[in-house]
A and B are shown apart, each in its own frame.
Chain A
Amino acid sequence: QKEVEQDPGPLSVPEGAIVSLNCTYSNSAFQYFMWYRQYSRKGPELLMYTYSSGNKEDGRFTAQVDKSSKYISLFIRDSQPSDSATYLCASAGGTSYGKLTFGQGTILTVHP
């Protein structure tokens, strides 16, 4: 079993839609949860960072972590064509000492 599972998609939505991206993880020691966005021919850039369970909101983006079910979510409201990218979830914690464990990434396309 992979430590972080993510549906690769692809996911295609119309502009303005609410997008829900999800990951599950298996390592109970994970405490830090991140979402990275990667545009084509670019490196990943940090989008959201959450410690432990709870919600975090930043503009149109909301990250949600439920440690009881080991579920990580990213919601994008009023999606825009510029949101089209690959979204990577990542987790860290316990004895991993900075080692991030990534999901496979979900390819998102927002069409006008």
Chain B
Amino acid sequence: ETGVTQTPRHLVMGMTNKKSLKCEQHLGHNAMYWYKQSAKKPLELMFVYNFKEQTENNSVPSRFSPECPNSSHLFLHLHTLQPEDSALYLCASSRNVDSADTQYFGPGTRLTVL
């Protein structure tokens, strides 16, 4: 798991707060991903970045704002979230955006929105 790190591991925030999640990969990969994992639901892809450029936005509400300053770092900025946004947010990376490339996941950030 040291290949992809995420901070913080746990976050509790109110609906009016602004917070950011951070992901860093040490694998030399070019592609990075944000996923949402809710109880009893499949992992949902949120965003994909390839060489710092966003290549996929899976109809994610604008209260989630991603940022990818370089191929090693990925952020998810959160503002005015809803209680139903409470979930485990997972970051992943892969060599490239290719179906054949393995995605490596971080440990996730457990987010609770009050």
Residue numbers of A with Cβ under 8 A of B are: 2, 4, 6, 8, 31-32, 34, 36, 41-46, 49, 51, 88, 90, 92-94, 96-105
Q: Which residue of B is nearest A92, CB measured?
A: B99
Q: Is A43 a contact of B99 with CB atoms below 8 Å?
A: no
Among A32, A88, A99, the one with the most B-chain Cβ atoms within 10 Å of its Cβ is A99
* CB-based contact A98/B101 at 8 Å: yes
| B104→A46 contact, CB < 8 A | yes
Which B residues lie within 8 Å of A44 (CB)?
43, 90, 105
Interfacial residues, chain B to chain A (CB-CB below 8 A): 1, 4, 6, 31, 40-43, 45, 48, 55-56, 90, 92, 94, 96-108, 110
Tell me whether A105 and B97 are in contact (CB under 8 A): no
From B98, which residue of chain A is reached at the shortest CB distance?
A: A98
How close is A64's CB to chain B, nearest CB, in angstroms? 19
Determine whether the beta carbon of B105 is less than 8 Å from that of A43: yes
Least Cβ–Cβ distance between A84 and chain B, in angstroms? 18
A4 to B43: give the CA distance in the assembly, Å. Answer: 11
Q: Would you call B42 and A2 a contact (CB within 8 A)? A: yes
